[in-house]
Structure 1
């Protein structure tokens, strides 16, 4: 699932619902086990006509990267520029142990696609201005007035180590801390045209700790946040700021509590310029927030679609009761965000293992929704294949020895599988979203104890 091909509609599961036509894999032709496993996984998943063809998208991305390089050269960039197709980024001036600068192309590409053809040149003009990053002051006293906190999806921070090459043991390039279970907050120096993320090296030069700098950044943000919230409906609000830091205002409890909600405050930050607030007991407000978040997640520079509730101990995950009319929309946002995060992680892990020469199958996290609106997520566990599994709700067990047309030998819910298999699922440290390395395959007795009817895996209350 590459950037641009994902659609919230059209979640599908091929013959698995009838347990017919589901594919295992063979080792014919000497293919690596991970490649055979990916092909088996792809045969299990059915793509809709609304999805773009990967080859067409890849060609478009490469054409965009070429134009980006041309724009940088025209702006005076003389250093070496390397294009990384897997991570869709440019490395500028990388040499030896020096990683150089990294320009992530994904957001620019999304903005390019969203614009009319006659407006697209502005994207490359904006991209070329990345060369003009603000010069950081020499002292913390000079820098302090321009420090601001930046809230992004936790995946952004967690996966930087795999994207920005610095060598083993190098510190993460951006200093940050978790915000609830899904988000992270870093530090930025806010310049006239662009912001620059700050890492351990910059803080060390200024002789300041992350916590001290973050406290100052919060105070700067507080001084910029005196405006009233925009009311979408009684008890439902959105932040009015369009300054790249709207999402960061969830760090300011006093701003969140300006919205007089029913129950406890619930927020969603689907975009860096969109902070939505409603109440845990406001069904109409939750539904409105879900609808608005869904549209925002389709825009460039989207963040996270999962709802969080403010408690005395901080932000925690939130979902309404399943009988609520708001449950379906928030559930769709949750599955979409998890699938997107796992997809980005899958691509980067595959590249990492390829560079190491290791044959590891990084299983996909796949969401599915049936015609009744019931939903689940699944992953494929293949016998005899070194696999990293995402934490999906349902596991399809496949035996390659049975041939390509064989159905799964068993299907089980994650909680049941984890309980029964014990040491066969080992958590991999340092990965977000979480993954587990499989150590073998369940016994025949264990497989026989799980459901073979996929329709029984749905909770009947999952529907609208």
Structure 2
């Protein structure tokens, strides 16, 4: 998780709420570019004192990558090493070699920043171990005892296509399946010091399907999950395992149900080593779970802050009742997670369109909380700009031709916009979180039916 992501939470609608002027260069709408749209979006969404210094952070990331390369060379790596600054990863070896030789630097960098300066060298030691991971067994019979299921945020799996080069016809490097609406479960070979994700190539070589291997992995996990849960309070529990597979235990209903909850089981998996369980009718337990989750999602290797409820049909989203004292924290977790996922997707898409030479504006998902604690998420739809719009609760319509100080020409909730402008919002296939390509701009008559006071968009009964 980058500092840019952490800075997303709490951003203000500076221009629209009267803190500063709104966006747009004084030129015709047809001439606006994605770069200018990004500048416009930044003006409407940030306090000046909260604006980041992307150049400084990029320099720090680049310096980290140089140290990582030096550590690999010192450990004896002789192959070519290519640094992808946009993807923040290292590719070790030639293009024809196994894509498993891609080293993603994001988690290592976050851990590096979290440590005291005198402890940071350990991060590079861990990174070098990734290069030294053992060869996978040649047969499934040999691999079988070490197979385990790995639960991660769905964004991790969905965005691999954009990170891994090779075209749309290249197989997905990691096999996985959804778990509820925003988690996913893959397969891993659990080695002494590292885990290796498994994909179609490995499973095909062993002559076994993903479902068959996943069944074996679940049974292996079940055998490693005989301990009792740690009780945080009556009806609220935490998984005791810190083995990179704590969150995978939500795949085992019998483990989840060891926690005697009020109502149906509710889980949050904010970190790969944190699985929290409470009940759908336990407000105190929900507050306790949310408090721990808010800390965990800010740590390196975080997963997802949104809650799931176990039903007869599987895992479904859960949110406390609006008047519950737990609602506010669950709402923060929801907004933060969606903002982080969209932020990662935005960076990937911008890189992809740049490589293709396509002039497309990838709009930002921005959460906002006012002085009363009320919150919304919003995106900016600019006239005359080819835009990929995230699904937010509110849309700000801006006309760059009106100048930098002009207010929005309309503000409306997403559901209302979709009813009126459904033909202008085209879903982009294959993207998670979902995005829509805008086709045109509302007419003056349509805009006149929408307010331009964002304060009225908040629910008066709560955040």
Superposition TM-score, scaled by structure 1 size:
0.96
Alignment of 1:141-156 (within 5 A): 141-156=141-156
Going from structure 1 to structure 2, the CA distance change for 1:409 and 1:13 (only over 3 Å counts) comes to same
Report the Cα offset of residue 459 of structure 1: 0.7
| Aligned equivalent of 1:129 | 129
SS in 2 for 1:43: helix
| Aligned equivalent of 2:159 | 159
Q: Deviations over 1:150-179 (max 9, x none)?
A: 000000000000001122301100000000
Q: Partners in 2 of 1:65 and 1:119 — Cα distance? A: 17
Q: Deviations over 1:373-420 (max 9, x none)?
A: 100000000111110000010000001111111110000000000000
Q: Kindly indicate whether the alpha-carbon contact (under 8 Å) linking 1:111 and 1:300 is maintained by their aligned counterparts in 2.
A: yes
Q: Kindly indicate whether the alpha-carbon contact (under 8 Å) linking 1:176 and 1:184 is maintained by their aligned counterparts in 2.
A: yes
Q: Which runs of 5+ in 2 are unaligned?
A: none
**Mapped pair 1:456 → 2:456:** yes
Alignment of 1:55-94 (within 5 A): 55-94=55-94
Q: Deviations over 1:256-287 (max 9, x none)?
A: 00000011000000000000000011001101
Going from structure 1 to structure 2, the CA distance change for 1:47 and 1:129 (only over 3 Å counts) comes to farther
Q: Partners in 1 of 2:239 and 2:174 — Cα distance? A: 26
SS in 1 for 2:17: helix
| Aligned equivalent of 2:264 | 264
Report the Cα offset of residue 24 of structure 1: 2.2
**Mapped pair 1:225 → 2:232:** no
SS in 2 for 1:461: coil
Q: Partners in 2 of 1:104 and 1:361 — Cα distance? A: 26
Going from structure 1 to structure 2, the CA distance change for 1:198 and 1:27 (only over 3 Å counts) comes to farther
Going from structure 1 to structure 2, the CA distance change for 1:439 and 1:416 (only over 3 Å counts) comes to same
Q: Partners in 1 of 2:207 and 2:26 — Cα distance? A: 58
SS in 2 for 1:462: coil
Going from structure 1 to structure 2, the CA distance change for 1:277 and 1:206 (only over 3 Å counts) comes to same
SS in 2 for 1:325: coil
Q: Partners in 2 of 1:423 and 1:378 — Cα distance? A: 20
Going from structure 1 to structure 2, the CA distance change for 1:9 and 1:3 (only over 3 Å counts) comes to closer
Q: Partners in 2 of 1:253 and 1:161 — Cα distance? A: 31
Q: Deviations over 1:327-385 (max 9, x none)?
A: 00000000000000000000110110011111000000000001111000000001111
| Aligned equivalent of 1:346 | 346
| Aligned equivalent of 1:426 | 426
Name the stretch that deviates more: 110-119 or 237-246: 110-119
Report the Cα offset of residue 2 of structure 1: 5.1
Going from structure 1 to structure 2, the CA distance change for 1:17 and 1:52 (only over 3 Å counts) comes to closer
SS in 1 for 2:6: coil
Report the Cα offset of residue 98 of structure 1: 6.5
Q: Deviations over 1:103-152 (max 9, x none)?
A: 11111111111111111111101101111112111111110100000000
Q: Kindly indicate whether the alpha-carbon contact (under 8 Å) linking 1:411 and 1:452 is maintained by their aligned counterparts in 2.
A: yes
Report the Cα offset of residue 32 of structure 1: 6.6
Report the Cα offset of residue 18 of structure 1: 3.3
Report the Cα offset of residue 71 of structure 1: 0.4
Report the Cα offset of residue 31 of structure 1: 8.3
Q: Kindly indicate whether the alpha-carbon contact (under 8 Å) linking 1:152 and 1:272 is maintained by their aligned counterparts in 2.
A: yes
Q: Kindly indicate whether the alpha-carbon contact (under 8 Å) linking 1:306 and 1:330 is maintained by their aligned counterparts in 2.
A: yes
Alignment of 1:192-211 (within 5 A): 192-211=192-211
**Mapped pair 1:172 → 2:172:** yes
Q: Kindly indicate whether the alpha-carbon contact (under 8 Å) linking 1:13 and 1:44 is maintained by their aligned counterparts in 2.
A: yes
Q: Partners in 1 of 2:254 and 2:195 — Cα distance? A: 25
| Aligned equivalent of 1:436 | 436
Q: Kindly indicate whether the alpha-carbon contact (under 8 Å) linking 1:394 and 1:411 is maintained by their aligned counterparts in 2.
A: yes
| Aligned equivalent of 2:25 | 25
Q: Kindly indicate whether the alpha-carbon contact (under 8 Å) linking 1:32 and 1:359 is maintained by their aligned counterparts in 2.
A: no
| C-alpha RMSD of the superposition | 1.7
Q: Kindly indicate whether the alpha-carbon contact (under 8 Å) linking 1:10 and 1:48 is maintained by their aligned counterparts in 2.
A: no
**Mapped pair 1:111 → 2:114:** no
Q: Deviations over 1:31-53 (max 9, x none)?
A: 87111110100111114646652
Q: Partners in 1 of 2:158 and 2:5 — Cα distance? A: 23
Q: Partners in 1 of 2:17 and 2:193 — Cα distance? A: 52
Q: Kindly indicate whether the alpha-carbon contact (under 8 Å) linking 2:88 and 2:106 is maintained by their aligned counterparts in 1.
A: yes
SS in 1 for 2:461: helix
SS in 2 for 1:378: strand
| Aligned equivalent of 1:384 | 384
Aligned length: 462
